[in-house]
Amino acid sequence: MMCVYRIEYQGVPRHVVEEGGRWRLVEGDIFARWTPGDTLADAPRHFLPPVLPSKIVAIGLNYREHAAEQGKAVPGEPMMFLKPPTAVVGPGEAIVLPGWAGRIDHEAEVGVVIGRTARQVGEADALTYVFGVTCVNDVTARDLQKKDVQYTRAKGFDTFAPIGPCIATGLDLGSPIRIEGLVNGEPRQSSSTADLIFGIPRLIAHISAVMTLLPGDIISTGTPAGVGPLKPGDLVTVKIEGVGELTNPVR
C-alpha cells in the first residue's frame, strides 16, 4: 500500500508519496506516468487537498441506519448528487458555518478516487478504474436540505467538502473498510463499507452510465448513522482504515 499526499513545495503544489516513513516527490502525473523523485529531508507538516476533482459525486442514503435516522425509505437505486469543486478544502482548513443556514451536520464518508476516464463501465471491471481511497466529510446544511428537497444548496457551500489527508492506494476494496466520525474526540459515527446498500462497483457502474468520470473525480459513497450538528469551535475528524485521519476546525 502507498499513500499519495499533496503539499506546497518551494512555492508550488506537488504530489508526494509516503512508504514506510520515507517521503518522495512525484515526478509526472499520478494518474498517468510518474516515478518517485527526490527524497524529502523532513516529513511534511501541512497538507493540501490530495486532489482537485472536477466533481464530487456523492451518494445519499447508502446506509440503512442513516436512512432510518433521516426518516427516509431505502432507495431502490443509488441516489446521487454533486458537490462542486469549490467546496473542497484540505486537512486543517476550517469548515465555515453560514450563520443564516440553520443546522450544519458532519457526514463521514469513504471517498473513492477515480484513476482513469470511466464511461459506461460494467460492475465486473469497475474496480480497475479506482486509483485509491480518501476521507470525505460531506458537510450538510440540514435545514436547507429539508426545505429545498434537492441537495445542491445544502451540500454546496464553500468549505463543505473537506478531503484528505491522502489517497491510499492498494487497499482491498472487496473487504470491509472501517469508517468513523468524531467531534472533539467523541465518537459519533462508526461503521464499515460492508454495510453499504450499494457497493463500490455498483456505484461506479451506475454513475458512469450517466456521466463520464475523470481522473481525480471522487465518489463519496454515503454516510453511516450518527450524523450530528457542528458548532463554532468544534474539531471534526473523519477516520478511515488504511487512509488515516482528516481533521478540520469549525468556525
* The pLDDT of residue 181: 98
**CATH superfamily to which 56-249 belongs:** Fumarylacetoacetase-like, C-terminal domain (3.90.850.10)
* The pLDDT of residue 145: 95
* The pLDDT of residue 67: 84
Alpha-carbon distance of 149 to 131, in angstroms, equals 33
* The pLDDT of residue 65: 86
* The pLDDT of residue 1: 84
Q: What is the mean pLDDT of residues 178-191?
A: 98
Q: The C-alpha cell of 7 is what?
A: 503539499
pLDDT at 172 over 90: yes
Per-residue pLDDT of 10-31, as tens digits, reads 999 999 999 888 999 999 999 9
Alpha-carbon distance of 1 to 171, in angstroms, equals 7
Place of cell 487497499: 171
Per-residue pLDDT of 229-242, as tens digits, reads 999 999 999 999 99
At 53, the pLDDT band (50, 70, 90 cuts) reads: very high
Domain ranges for the chain, please list them: 2-39, 56-249
Q: pTM for the full model? A: 0.96
Burial class (CB in 10 A: 0-12, 13-18, 19+), 190: middle
CA-based nearest residue to 107, from 60, 153, 152:
60
At 85, the pLDDT band (50, 70, 90 cuts) reads: very high
